[in-house]
Structure 1
């Protein structure tokens, strides 16, 4: 399947002319990487700047599932199901459940990203919340965002980075365009493969 051949998705027409980017999922991987970096280096004394950067990360990390699903043909979806230890997907909702089960970080991104973007969350988990933390070290004020999952607190950047790695692995596994460049970003993957040999 060529990306130029994609006309209709399960939920409407894909119109790449509105995307302001390259028109395939690698643009979303790049966007997520950029947003994580922006959140990491944010030293703005206004907490809103750090919060907005975190919000963007959550939304992008969750919506990677739309891009992966919409740009996967039937063979790729079958391969994706095998990769996630599922017999097959009947719908994108099946994929959504499987990826959240396989990666708790993506599940957290769904909770936060959906609430941020759409206000209400279907299948809401009230045990997932967020908290903004203020710190002042040697007169340098900074803020961080914690994603609270029950009794466990996660730095938001760690959650988004874990989601990014899972999406990158799927991207490489399905051999989307430019998958070799994505693979090259993760030297530890080659080390793990070499140690298995």
Structure 2
């Protein structure tokens, strides 16, 4: 099953344990905020900080796992066809972030996209720190961060395998004031895959 995530919007899917889910950058240069929640208790969620502690990396390598705030594996990184620049440091954009950047009225945000899609499933949760796929935030020797444009190419993808039944949410980041998306957000795609890595018909 393929689900298109329109630019600046979000989409949620339910993923079974052992099932694979792929996020594809359709046009290149687009950041995706990825969230995951335990299906039987959405208060348990993928945690960037707990994952960094588990892997001793700024981002897991292929074959390594993302863990929850209860330190249980929730996703395994199984394939990455992109240049491999992703982020586990930056919070999801939200209305306060855009106000701080000088936006006077409404601006779409990853936090709002998450809340809206979870509400569509009858769920309400706070916004955890996401896994920012295709996002390039290098750390300099002096500890400073740089907000660089994504270098993912058209149809680059990153694939996860669910380690538990979970709700998987992707926001095609609406950020157009900081140059992470080249100031022009574009769509992403979510593919649910079967055990042979083909697209599931479910």
TM (normalized to structure 2)? 0.26
Greater strand content: 2
Between the two structures, name the one with larger relative contact order (CA 8 Å, sep ≥ 6). Answer: 2
Query: Rg bigger for which structure?
Result: 1
Relative to its length, the structure with more helix (as a share) is: 1
